[in-house]
C-alpha cells in the first residue's frame, strides 16, 4: 500500500486551486439515473470515490464519457463527464461495490423513483461510528414504497401507480436523507414537504442541478423544502461547486505551518464557521473574487473551542483538521463532536506526533504543545488522514503516513498542491 513521506517545518506560500466538492459530485452523479437524457457534469474532481461511483453507475447501465483535456487547460482543472442513463439494465447495487462507499447507497432513490424498484446492499464507508440508514428508508416508505431488508440488502418497491408525495419530518438533520428525499420526490406524484431538511451547500447544489433537469423544488438551503413531482426529467449541464472541506483543510494547514496561500476558487460563504475559527486562532483570512487568502506570520496559535453542527455550523468533516491545528495552540481547547460518535480515531495518531489530547465522551480536550515531532502514523478514515498530514507539515522531521488510500478517496492531487506551496510531501509506492 502507498505511503506518504512528509518532512515538516516549512511554511506554505503560493496558490492552491480548490477542486470540485466530492460530497456534491457523488449525489450529482447519482442524479443521472433519474433521466434518459444526458447529464453533463463539469468540475468533477479526480478522486477514487468518483471513479468507484462511475463503476457502480456503469453496473446499472449508465454510459459515461470523460472529455479529454484541451490545450491550455489548467493542470488541475476538473473533468467534464457526460452521464447517460437511457438504458438502465440492472436495479441491483451489489455488496462488493456499495460496501466500499456509503454514498453509493443513495442510488436506491432514483432507481426506485424511475424504475419502480431497487435492491441495494446496506452500505459501508468510513469507519466513523454506526451510520444507520433508518431515516433514508423512512423517506422511501413515506413516499409509498414497501421496504424490506433481506440478507444484507434493502429491497424497495414503489406502489403500482408510482411514488406519492408526502409530508416528511426528519428527527435528525441528515445530508444523505435529504439527498434521498429530493431524488425520490422529484418523480413522485404530487407535493412533498421536507421538514428539518439538511441545509448543506451540497444539498443546494443537487437541488440546483435537479431544477435544471426540470424538477420543481423550492427552499433548498433552508430546513423546509417543497417539491412538486413531475412526470419525467431531462438532461442538463451543471458545474460541481467548490469543495469547502478541501478549502478548509488547506486553510488550517496554513494556519498551522504559517505562510500565505490563496485558495483559488474557494467560496467563503460555504465555510464561514470554519473560517471564523481559523481567524480566532490568530490567522488572517481575506477573500476576493479569486478565492480565500489565508496567512499567519509568526505568533503562537491561540486556543479555540469548537463544536461540530449541521450547516451553517462547524462541519464535522473539518473537526480532525482543526484538532491538528489546536495541538500546537498556546493553551487548552475543547473540541466537541456532535454529529458522529467515534469520530476521534485521529487522536491516538496525533499523540504519536507528540500531541496531548484527552477524551471525555464526545469532547476532546487538547492541551497545546510547543512542538510536534515526526513519526510513523496510520490513516484511519478520510478526514482523519488529512489531519495527520497537516500535523506532519508542522512537525519537526519526517512523518510517514501509512494507508494513504483514504486520502485518495477525497483529496485530489494532495502532494502536488502542497508541494507547489513549498511543502515536502512525497508518495512512496507500495513495494518500494
Ligand atoms: C454526509 C457526508 C459526510 C459528512 C456528513 C455530515 C457525503 C458523501 N458524506 O454523510 O462527509 O460527514 O454528511 O455532514 O456527503 N443518521 C441516522 N439515520 C440515518 C441517516 C443518518 O441516524 O438514516 C445520523 C448519522 O448517524 C449521523 C447524522 O445522522 O449521526 C448525520 O449523518 P448524515 O448527514 O446522514 O451523513 P451522510 O449523509 O452519511
pTM (2 decimals)?
Answer: 0.96
> Count H helices, E strands: the chain?
14, 24
DSSP category for residue 372: -
- In this prediction, the residues of the chain whose per-residue pLDDT falls under 50 are 125-129
- Say if ligand 1 is within 6 A of residue 154 CB: no
> For residue 303, how many other CB atoms are within 10 A of its CB?
18
Distance (Å) from CA 175 to ligand 1 centroid: 6
Q: CA nearest 35: which of 98, 105, 108, 111?
A: 111
Q: Which residues are CB-contacts of 19 (< 8 A; sequence separation ≥ 6)?
A: 43, 45, 46, 76, 78, 242, 243, 246, 412, 413
What kind and span of H or E run contains 385? Answer: helix 382-393
Task: Examine residue 312 and say whether the peptide bond preceding it is cis (omega within 30 degrees of 0).
Answer: yes
Task: List pLDDT tens digits, range 262-273.
Answer: 999 999 999 999
DSSP codes joined into one string, 323-357: HHHHTTBSSEEEEE--S-TT--THHHHHHHTT-EE
CA 286 – CA 296 distance, rounded (Å): 12
DSSP category for residue 311: T
User: How distant is the alpha carbon of residue 97 from its chain centre?
Assistant: 18
- Say if ligand 1 is within 6 A of residue 124 CB: no
Instruction: Go through the domains of the chain in sequence order and give each one's CATH number.
Output: 3-19+242-428 (3.65.10.10), 22-239 (3.65.10.10)
Q: Give whole-number Cα distances, 423 to 123, 204, 366, 416, in Å.
A: 36, 35, 25, 9
What kind and span of H or E run contains 110? Answer: helix 108-115
Q: Which parts of 164-235 are beta strand (E)?
A: 167-169, 191-195, 216-218, 225-228
CA 313 – CA 322 distance, rounded (Å): 14
CA 133 – CA 118 distance, rounded (Å): 15
DSSP category for residue 267: -
Given a contact cutoff of 8 angstroms between Cβ atoms, the answer to whether 256 and 328 are in contact is yes
Ligand 1 atom with the smallest distance to the CA of 22 is 8
- Say if ligand 1 is within 6 A of residue 29 CB: no
Task: List pLDDT tens digits, range 194-253.
Answer: 999 999 999 999 999 999 999 999 999 999 999 999 999 999 999 999 999 999 999 999
Ligand 1 atom with the smallest distance to the CA of 317 is 12
Measured by CA distance, the residue closest to atom 37 of ligand 1 is 176
- Name residue 120's beta-bridge partners: 93, 154
CA 278 – CA 273 distance, rounded (Å): 9
Given this model, what pLDDT does residue 126 score? 45
Given this model, what pLDDT does residue 211 score? 98
Pocket test for ligand 1, best of 174, 181, 310 (most atoms within 8 A of CB): 174
Given this model, what pLDDT does residue 127 score? 47
Given a contact cutoff of 8 angstroms between Cβ atoms, the answer to whether 197 and 170 are in contact is yes
| Cα three-residue angle 235-240-244, rounded to 5 degrees | 155
Measured by CA distance, the residue closest to atom 2 of ligand 1 is 23
Q: CA nearest 102: which of 345, 309, 381?
A: 381
Q: How many angstroms separate the first and last alpha carbons of the chain?
A: 10
126 is catalytic: yes
Reduced to 3 states (helix: H, G, I; strand: E, B; else coil), residue 273 is: helix
What phi and psi values does residue 83 have, to the nearest 5 degrees? -115, 130
Ligand 1 atom with the smallest distance to the CA of 198 is 34
Amino acid at each position: 500500500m502507498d505511503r506518504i513521506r512528509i518532512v515538516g517545518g516549512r511554511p506554505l506560500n503560493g496558490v492552491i486551486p480548490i477542486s470540485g466538492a466530492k460530497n456534491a459530485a457523488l449525489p450529482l452523479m447519482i442524479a443521472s439515473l433519474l433521466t434518459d437524457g444526458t447529464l453533463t457534469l463539469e468540475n468533477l474532481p479526480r478522486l477514487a470515490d468518483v471513479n468507484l461511483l462511475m463503476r457502480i453507475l456503469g453496473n446499472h447501465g449508465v454510459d459515461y464519457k470523460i472529455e479529454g483535456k484541451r490545450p491550455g487547460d489548467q493542470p488541475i482543472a476538473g473533468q467534464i463527464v457526460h452521464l447517460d442513463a437511457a438504458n438502465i439494465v440492472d436495479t441491483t447495487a451489489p455488496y462488493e461495490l456499495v460496501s466500499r462507499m456509503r454514498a453509493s447507497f443513495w442510488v436506491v432513490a432514483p432507481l426506485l423513483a424511475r424504475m419502480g424498484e431497487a435492491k441495494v446492499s446496506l452500505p459501508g464507508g468510513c469507519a466513523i461510528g454506526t451510520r444507520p440508514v433508518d431515516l433514508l428508508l423512512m423517506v422511501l416508505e413515506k413516499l409509498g414504497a414497501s421496504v424490506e431488508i433481506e440478507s444484507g440488502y434493502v429491497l424497495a418497491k414503489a406502489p403500482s401507480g408510482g411514488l406519492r408525495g408526502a409530508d416528511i419530518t426528519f428527527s435528525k438533520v441528515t445530508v444523505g436523507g435529504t439527498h434521498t428525499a429530493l431524488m425520490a420526490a422529484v418523480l413522485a406524484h404530487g407535493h412533498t414537504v421536507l421538514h428539518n431538511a439538511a441545509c448543506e451547500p451540497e444539498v443546494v447544489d443537487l437541488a440546483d442541478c435537479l431544477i435544471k433537469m426540470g424538477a420543481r423544488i423550492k427552499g433548498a438551503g433552508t430546513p423546509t423544502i417543497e417539491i412538486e413531482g413531475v412526470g419525467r426529467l431531462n438532461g442538463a449541464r451543471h458545474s460541481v461547486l467548490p469543495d469547502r472541506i478541501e478549502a478548509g483543510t488547506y486553510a488550517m494547514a496554513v494556519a498551522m505551518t504559517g505562510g500565505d496561500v490563496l485558495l483559488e476558487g474557494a467560496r467563503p460563504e460555504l465555510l464561514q464557521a470554519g473560517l471564523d475559527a481559523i481567524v480566532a486562532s490568530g490567522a488572517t483570512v481575506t477573500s476576493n473574487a479569486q478565492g480565500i487568502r489565508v496567512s499567519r506570520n509568526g505568533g503562537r496559535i491561540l486556543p479555540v473551542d469548537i463544536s461540530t453542527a449541521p450547516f451553517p455550523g462547524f462541519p464535522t468533516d473539518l473537526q480532525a483538521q482543526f484538532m491538528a491545528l489546536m495541538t500546537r495552540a498556546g493553551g487548552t481547547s475543547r473540541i466537541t463532536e456532535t454529529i458522529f460518535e467515534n469520530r476521534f480515531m485521529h487522536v491516538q495518531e496525533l499523540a504519536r506526533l507528540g500531541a496531548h489530547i484527552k477524551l471525555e465522551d464526545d469532547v476532546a480536550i487538547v492541551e497545546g504543545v510547543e512542538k510536534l515531532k515526526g513519526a510513523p502514523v496510520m490513516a484511519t478514515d478520510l478526514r482523519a488522514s488529512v489531519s495527520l498530514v497537516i500535523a506532519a507539515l508542522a512537525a519537526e522531521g519526517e512523518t510517514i503516513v501509512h494507508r494513504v488510500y483514504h486520502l485518495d478517496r477525497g483529496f485530489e492531487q494532495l502532494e502536488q498542491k502542497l508541494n507547489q506551496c513549498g511543502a515536502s510531501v512525497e508518495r512512496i509506492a507500495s513495494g518500494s
